[in-house]
Amino acid sequence: MIRSNRGYQVFLAVTLLSFMGSTMHVLAAAWLVIHLTGADYSVPTLLLFSALPGVFMAPIVGAVVDKGDARIVLVVTDVVSAAAVLSVPAAHAAGSLSVVQLYAVEAVLAVCGQFYWPASRVLVRDFATPAELLSANSTTTLIYQLGITVGALLGGVLVSIGGPLAGLWVNAASFLVSAIGMTAIRWISTPAAAQVPDGTGPSAEYPDSAQVATDPGGTWRGFVLTLQMIRSRPRIWHLTALYLGLQATQRLMSALLVPFLRSLGLGAGIQGALQMSFGLGSVLAGAVIPTIVRRFGGVVIIGIGSLGVALFMTLFSLTHGAGIAFVLYGALGLAISSWVFSLTQAQLQVPSSHQGTYLATSGSLVSLASLCMFATASLLLSRIDPRPVYWIGAVVLLIVALPSVRYLRRNGFVDRCPVAQA
């Protein structure tokens, strides 16, 4: 698929650059907000503002992505994101930068991210056939994590040498390059969905999707119907729960990392190394997940993934040395990437015409869960050491994931996933 689709090749290239820039931004913003406030709890508070828009935007996002051109959505979000990021160094140069502006910029980036995530996944599904979808999602996630890995390595060095603003300049540039690349995709690629012969629409390609409502009748009604569909269909419900738990846990880990490193007397360079290790683990996961599913079935992925994240989070919180922390954070990246399989299985149950609505709705649920975690973490970090917060996160993940793993294993749903080479 990669070798034969030039549009997908361009998408992967600009996605790599974009995620490199975004990772530098995460590093830079965390240290910048601590520089402005001097408080550990300011990092989860910053991320709380990044989660808040996602709780309310799912109805609008789903309708826009389903009814519009995903590539245009991606171009607009890139341009708006670049403008928002550039406002920070501009305000700093004018001597007017405040923590309130940082929170506002994170909120704007979060709004753009709410459109970017489902639009990019819809575009990937347009490039792929059903049998190629897991491999395409895994390859795309591998590129995400490769960008995070390289971005973390370069970002840690850049922020250590040039300060947080240097990371923001690079992120703004990556958004603009991504916008140019997404514009080019419109002229060099024909999505696979447009090549489906007459009589083989989404319900025919994806046998279990025929029962999904096909006429949402407006943004809010579509959102409510999607929630009802998720809740009424056990397979989608439990797959979404696994995806939600793993994504929210990953965001919590991001919120805790800087306060944890500060408690050890470590700085941005070590943070970049740990993020690089996490990315390497995720890159490895993206390469091996389709092979594991073909040979052993999906139950291995979802079971070991959830249990592994809880175990490695707990062990990571107990470390005192950078070397062991580097290994454990890489293991976390490997285990937490099992969300790719859960999301793919859920996507295969939803018709193409409703991919945007489903992805936006699931993203809204992730944002809501993350919002609760960030608020709790911000409150706890103002009173206690970061380590117990890791333990609480691991317990919450197990409470969410284990019932879903048990249900899917008992019903054999996760053993029936078509997989083709990307």
Q: Which residues contact 277 (CB under 8 A, 6 or more apart)?
A: 326, 327, 329, 330, 333
Select from 13, 122, 35 the least CA-distant residue to 343.
Answer: 122
Task: Let me know if residue 420 belongs to a domain.
Answer: no
Task: Let me know if residue 268 belongs to a domain.
Answer: yes
pLDDT at 278: 87
Task: Let me know if residue 375 belongs to a domain.
Answer: yes
Instruction: Count structural domains, the chain.
Output: 1
CB 71 within 8 A of CB 9: no
CATH number at residue 367: 1.20.1250.20
Q: Give the C-alpha separation, 409 to 397, whole Å.
A: 18
Q: At what angle do helices 322-336 and 234-263 cross, to 10 degrees?
A: 170
pLDDT at 332: 93
CA distances (Å), origin 225, targets 64, 122, 370:
16, 19, 23
Task: Let me know if residue 199 belongs to a domain.
Answer: no
Select from 43, 9, 8, 33 the least CA-distant residue to 256.
Answer: 43
Task: Let me know if residue 40 belongs to a domain.
Answer: yes
- In 6-98, where does DSSP find H-type helix? 6-37, 42-56, 58-67, 70-94
pLDDT at 421: 45
CB 273 within 8 A of CB 153: yes
**Residue 283 corresponds to which amino acid?**
V
pLDDT tens-place values along the chain, 422 residues long: 555 677 888 888 888 888 888 888 888 888 888 888 887 778 778 877 877 777 777 667 777 877 778 888 899 999 999 999 999 999 999 988 888 999 999 889 988 888 888 888 888 877 777 777 777 877 887 787 788 778 877 887 888 888 888 889 998 999 999 999 888 886 665 545 444 333 333 333 333 333 434 444 445 666 677 778 788 888 889 989 999 999 889 888 888 888 888 888 887 778 778 878 888 888 788 778 777 777 777 777 888 889 999 999 999 999 887 889 999 999 998 899 888 888 888 878 777 667 777 877 887 888 888 888 888 888 888 788 889 999 999 999 999 999 998 888 887 665 555 444 44
Q: Give the C-alpha separation, 102 to 85, whole Å.
A: 9
33 exposure class (CB count in 10 Å sphere: 0-12, 13-18, 19+): buried
Task: Let me know if residue 162 belongs to a domain.
Answer: yes
Task: Let me know if residue 225 belongs to a domain.
Answer: yes
pLDDT at 219: 56
CB 130 within 8 A of CB 206: yes
Task: Let me know if residue 421 belongs to a domain.
Answer: no
Structural domain containing residue 72: 6-189+215-415
pLDDT at 199: 35
pLDDT at 187: 66
